[in-house]
């Protein structure tokens, strides 16, 4: 059954509920998406390149950082509706472009290790979190984020900005994200960082387990994940009992509540609140649980209740048109 | 969809973008989505329904049996045949039970 041709993975990590959908759609579904809704794509242009070439007078690290950031975020409309193939190519280009700039951020941090901008540059280098198995031959490979992680762990474990970076990683899939989150959780001298790393790790593991369950149903997605994230890693995950994975998530979430319940997160919520919501999902929104009632308005403004559908099999589809 | 017409089966959407009904109706007409969908007004992905269900990502699917028990949950799209056979199995099961007695 093809429910609707407008699916796209739109991962919303706890702290970053906006603006994540630009690069996080799943390729073969987006192809269908394009047939339905015109999408104007924005192309990243390397407009700032010339600014970085002039070396007559030393450019302060902050200025270099701002130029790179503008290049990273800078976008211009292509002014046209893209076809399926064009869109896929665009995503690949955008990934590769951003990866290249990420590499420059790491270089900047290495060149000015004592400057406060080094930390910002490193955090920017890990900003792009690949949540979707885009074909590796299109999005390419780049390990600048790995270099950024090792410098962050070496020089910045106590920085208060690290907690936010941890939260950003929770919808990712890479093995190294788990390693990084565990390192911050265990070794950061900052309680705020340890707390945010703990809830981020709990959510990362929960998200990853959900992904693995999907991969089990679909050889195509399995191959894509394998190519991007490594065969050995994926096989290890596929062989794990789901119940064991759930127990691990539960233990970490409980730890987050017990030890870091009052730690504030960037959006004003606490680690405890987030962990409780995730625990509720694990225990009460899993297979075998009774679905909570939903009461609300439908697209015609009519009051609608999920419970009114009792006696029928219901596919409940959380969706967005993006 | 058509496969289960006239059988105990329904699709219900929850649009997480936060539209008011009128806006959602326009979006759904454009995308030619024929079934009912809840609006979930509020910040994107953080409306009351999304919050209650600890919504992680689109697409997320829950398949409920005739008793309202969650029987399948997928974050992401499963292979089509997997979803089809899950629905078929539950629809048959529900038809076996017959209409719930009051």
What token pair was written down for A29?
A: 């579904």
Q: Given an 8 Å threshold on Cβ–Cβ distance, is A319 in contact with B15? A: yes
Burial of A118 (0-12, 13-18, 19+ CB in 10 A): buried
Residue B17 has pLDDT above 80, yes or no: yes
> How far away is chain B from the Cα of A277, in angstroms, using its nearest Cα?
6
Highest-scoring range by mean pLDDT, A15-24, A42-51, A90-99, A258-267: A258-267
Domain limits of chain B?
Answer: 2-97
SS3 B100: coil
pLDDT confidence of residue B2: 72
Looking at domain B2-97, its CATH architecture is: 3-Layer(aba) Sandwich (3.40)
Band of pLDDT at residue A38, cut at 50, 70 and 90 = very low
Residue A51 has pLDDT above 50, yes or no: no
User: Would you call B49 an interface residue with chain A, using a CB distance cutoff of 8 Å?
Assistant: yes
Chain B environment of A39 (Cβ under 8 Å) = none
> How far away is chain A from the Cα of B10, in angstroms, using its nearest Cα?
5
Q: Do A305 and A294 contact (CB within 8 A), yes or no?
A: yes
Average pLDDT over residues A226-232: 93
pLDDT confidence of residue A80: 60
For A195, list phi and psi in degrees, rounded to 5. Answer: -65, -45
Residue of B nearest to A278 (CA): B54
pLDDT confidence of residue A78: 52
User: Would you call B86 an interface residue with chain A, using a CB distance cutoff of 8 Å?
Assistant: no
pLDDT confidence of residue A302: 97
Q: Given an 8 Å threshold on Cβ–Cβ distance, is A9 in contact with B58? A: yes
Share of chain B above pLDDT 70, in %: 93
Residue A22 has pLDDT above 50, yes or no: no
Band of pLDDT at residue A268, cut at 50, 70 and 90 = confident
The distance from CA A12 to its chain's CA centroid, rounded to whole angstroms, is 7
Q: Given an 8 Å threshold on Cβ–Cβ distance, is B77 in contact with A26? A: yes
pLDDT confidence of residue A32: 29
pLDDT confidence of residue A17: 36
Chain B environment of A31 (Cβ under 8 Å) = none
Chain A environment of B78 (Cβ under 8 Å) = 214, 217-218
- In degrees, rounded to 5, the angle at the alpha carbon of residue A145 between the alpha carbons of residues A161 and A259 is 40
The string of pLDDT tens digits covering residues A126-145 is 998 877 778 888 888 888 99
Average pLDDT, rounded, for chain A: 82
Non-local CB neighbours of A313 within 8 Å, separated by 6+ positions: B4, B8, B9, B10, B63, B64, B65, B66, B87, B90, B91, B94
Residue A317 has pLDDT above 80, yes or no: yes
Q: Given an 8 Å threshold on Cβ–Cβ distance, is A7 in contact with B58? A: yes
The string of pLDDT tens digits covering residues B25-56 is 999 999 899 999 999 998 898 899 999 998 88
Pairing label, strands A40-43, A76-81: antiparallel
C-alpha pair distances (Å), B88 with each of A275, A312, A313, B10, B84 = 35, 12, 9, 12, 6
The string of pLDDT tens digits covering residues A242-254 is 999 999 999 999 9
Average pLDDT over residues A235-262: 96
Average pLDDT over residues A256-277: 93
Find the CB nearest A316 among B8, B43, B64: B64
The string of pLDDT tens digits covering residues A212-224 is 999 998 888 899 9
The string of pLDDT tens digits covering residues A146-199 is 999 999 999 999 999 999 999 999 989 999 999 999 999 999 999 999 999 999
pLDDT confidence of residue A131: 76
pLDDT confidence of residue A44: 34
Residue A207 has pLDDT above 60, yes or no: yes
Average pLDDT over residues B73-77: 89
């Amino acid at each position: 059954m093809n429910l609707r041709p407008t699916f796209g993975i739109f991962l919303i990590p706890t702290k970053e509920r906006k603006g994540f959908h630009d690069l996080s759609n799943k390729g073969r579904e987006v192809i269908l998406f394009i047939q339905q809704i015109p999408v104007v794509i924005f192309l990243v242009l390397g407009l700032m390149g010339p600014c970085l070439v002039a070396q007559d007078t030393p450019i302060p690290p902050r200025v270099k950082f701002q130029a790179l950031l503008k290049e990273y975020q800078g976008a211009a409309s292509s002014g046209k509706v893209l076809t399926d193939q064009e869109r896929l190519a665009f995503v690949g280009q955008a990934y590769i472009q951003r990866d290249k700039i990420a590499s420059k951020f790491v270089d900047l941090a290495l060149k000015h290790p004592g400057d406060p901008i080094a930390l910002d540059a490193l955090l920017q280098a890990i900003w792009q979190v690949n949540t979707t198995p885009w074909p590796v031959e299109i999005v390419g490979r780049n390990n600048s984020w790995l270099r950024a992680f090792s410098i962050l762990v070496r020089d910045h474990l106590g920085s208060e900005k690290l907690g936010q970076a941890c939260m950003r990683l929770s919808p990712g899939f890479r093995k190294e994200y788990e390693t990084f989150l565990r390192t911050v959780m265990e070794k950061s001298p900052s309680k705020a960082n340890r707390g945010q790393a703990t809830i981020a790790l709990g959510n990362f593991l929960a998200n990853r387990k959900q992904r693995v369950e999907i991969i089990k149903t679909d050889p195509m997605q399995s191959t894509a994940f394998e190519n991007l994230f490594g065969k050995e890693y994926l096989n290890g995950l596929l062989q794990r009992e789901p119940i064991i994975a759930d127990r691990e998530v539960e233990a970490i979430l409980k730890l987050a509540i017990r030890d870091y319940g009052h730690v504030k997160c960037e959006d004003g919520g606490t680690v405890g609140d987030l962990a409780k919501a995730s625990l509720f999902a694990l225990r009460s929104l899993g297979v075998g649980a009774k679905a909570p009632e939903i009461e609300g308005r439908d697209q015609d403004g009519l009051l609608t209740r999920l419970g009114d559908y009792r006696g029928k099999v219901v596919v409940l589809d959380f969706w967005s048109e993006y | 969809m058509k496969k289960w017409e006239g059988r105990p089966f329904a699709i219900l959407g929850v649009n997480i973008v936060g539209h008011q009904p009128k806006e959602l109706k326009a979006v759904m007409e454009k995308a030619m989505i024929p079934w009912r969908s809840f609006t979930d007004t509020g910040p994107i992905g953080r409306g009351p329904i999304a919050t209650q269900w600890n919504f992680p990502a689109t697409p997320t699917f829950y398949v409920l049996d005739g008793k309202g028990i969650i029987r399948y949950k997928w974050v992401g799209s499963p292979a089509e045949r997997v979803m089809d056979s899950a629905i078929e199995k539950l629809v048959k099961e529900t038809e076996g039970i017959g209409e719930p007695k009051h």
